[in-house]
Amino acid sequence: MVGYIDKIKEISERLLKDGKVDMVIGFRKGTMPMMNEPHRVKSADDVKNLVWDSNCGINLANYLTDRKEKIGIVAKGCDSRNIVTHIIENKIDRDQLYIIGVPCKGMIDSHKITNAVSGEIVDVVESNGEVTVKGDGFEETFNKADVLQKNCAVCIHRNPVIYDELVTDLVEEQADVDRYEDVREIEAMSTEEKHNFFDDLLAPCIRCYACRNACPLCYCPTCFVDESRPQWVGKGDDPVDIKTFHFLRAYHCAGRCTDCGSCERACPVGINMRLLTKKLEMDCLNLYGWEAGLTLDNRPPLDTYKPDDPEEFIK
């Protein structure tokens, strides 16, 4: 995985030099360990700053919305699915894009590592499926499989679904994962238990909207939380307002969410709001056999009508 970067640099440099794209969106090293940040490369000289490792969890499709120029973009499996969603929703044109596909083996959950060590981490080295973190007076090695982001651990679309060029051979998809175990656990609860569960889950939320900002689907010019006439959601930290925000945001992602994990990754207090989006994702799969962002040929189920659409909830 670490070796991919040479190929990414080579492709990016070629694209920029040939004038095929105006910029390449990739990652550069962040100011903090395990926090690589998105980087727009506009000249061939800048290509050297690009990096690729297991800390590139941010979904780059987020930066494509309504762009006008020609863009080369580095895309993991989930990024590519969100690019497909963007194209379907007319947020970007396929012809504008040169997609550099990166088969992905999962990204590291920095929350997990930070919680596992005491003290500030200053350096992280990755090799052969192991992650070694160093800080003041400690050094620890983790098995990468143990510190994967939760969504990566159950990911079944690691390979990009559309691309113009791949940096390496496609990786093997995980086959025997149970994607919806946690959702079923909640479904088995009683109404009261569910209510309390979500009360507890969302209690730490500080309404920073980092999840919304990190989400490639959340591109509305004015988000419903910012609307004031009428005001759907209060601005404070009232538990009902917090829940309204999370529930409605999840609804807005129904049939579009690719479970890229950006929201959870961005959350400063570590809320697993993916439980909400995943429930809707599961319903879409079970009711309509739909998984978001896999193809450009079909319209999503929520904007098409079929006579055999499920309707047992209508009286």
Partner 1 sequence: MPEWEPKIVAFLCNWCSYGAADLAGVSRMQYPPNIRVIRIPCTGRMSPKFILAALRKGADGVWVSG
Partner 2 sequence: MEFMGIERDRLHLSWISSAEATKFVEVVNNVTEAVRALGPNTHFIKNEAKVA
Question: By the criterion CB under 8 A, which residues form the site for partner 2?
Answer: 186-187, 191-199, 234, 238, 240-241, 243-244, 247, 276, 279, 313-315
Q: In whole angstroms, how close is the CB of 255 to partner 2 at the nearest point?
A: 16
Q: How far is the CB of 300 from partner 2 (least distance, A)?
A: 20
Q: At closest approach, how far in Å is the CB of 149 from partner 2?
A: 23
Burial 267-291 (b: 16+ CB within 10 A, else e): beeebbbbbbbbbbbeebeeebebb
Contact of residue 232 among partner 1, partner 2, none (CB under 5-8 Å per partner type): partner 1
The item of partner 2, partner 1, none sharing an interface with residue 224, based on CB under 5 to 8 Å by kind, is partner 1
**Nearest partner of 201 among 259, 256, 146, 279, judged by Cα:** 279
What is the C-alpha separation between 83 and 74, in angstroms, rounded?
A: 11
Planar angle of CA 77, 216, 121, nearest 5 degrees: 75
SS3 at position 290? coil
The amino acid present at 57, given as its one-letter code, is G
- 75: three-class secondary structure by DSSP: strand
Contact partner at residue 194 from partner 1, partner 2, none, CB < 5 to 8 Å by partner kind: partner 2
242-to-197, 208, 233, 246 alpha-carbon distances in Å: 14, 11, 8, 6
> Which residues ranging from 197 to 256 are in contact with partner 1 (CB under 8 A)?
224, 230, 232, 240, 244, 247-248, 251
Contacts 24+ apart (CB under 8 A), 127-130: 127/2
Query: Considering CB distances under 5 to 8 angstroms, the limit depending on partner class, which of partner 1, partner 2, none binds residue 195?
Result: partner 2
In angstroms, what is the minimal distance from the CB of 254 to partner 2? 12
Residue 28 bridge partners (DSSP): 37, 50
- 35 contacts which partner out of partner 2, partner 1, none, CB within 5 to 8 A by kind? none
Task: Tell me which of partner 2, partner 1, none is bound by residue 191, counting a contact when its beta carbon lies within the kind-specific cut-off of 5 to 8 angstroms.
Answer: partner 2
Q: What minimum distance in Å lies between the beta carbon of 232 and partner 1? A: 5
19 is an interface residue for partner 1 by CB under 8 A:
no
Residues that bind partner 1 (CB under 8 A): 224, 230, 232, 240, 244, 247-248, 251
